[in-house]
Amino acid sequence: MLLVPRQLRRVGMTGDVPYYGGRFTPAQAYAAAHPPAPPVGRPPTTRADQQLAALQHLLDTGVITSEEYRRLRARVAP
């Protein structure tokens, strides 16, 4: 009886080994070496912008009242 790890048996069926023995597959190595480019034309969002957008979403969905929104918005550094 030949003992073959499941990952190696899978390569015979599908032709793809997602992970084996702590090594990257060629696709993973390429993705690690070539990170995606940042979006063009859009300025990077700051933490304050993200917090204000989250507060606006909470207000729009009715989770917080307008008074709570104003109070929390004053705490966010512009």
Predicted pLDDT at 67 = 95
Predicted pLDDT at 18 = 54
Show Cβ contacts of residue 17 under 8 Å, excluding neighbours closer than 6 positions: 7, 8, 10, 11, 25
Predicted pLDDT at 78 = 62
Which residues in the chain come in under a pLDDT of 50? 1, 13-14
- What's the pTM? 0.44
Predicted pLDDT at 26 = 77
> Is residue 23 classed as helix, strand or coil in its secondary structure?
strand
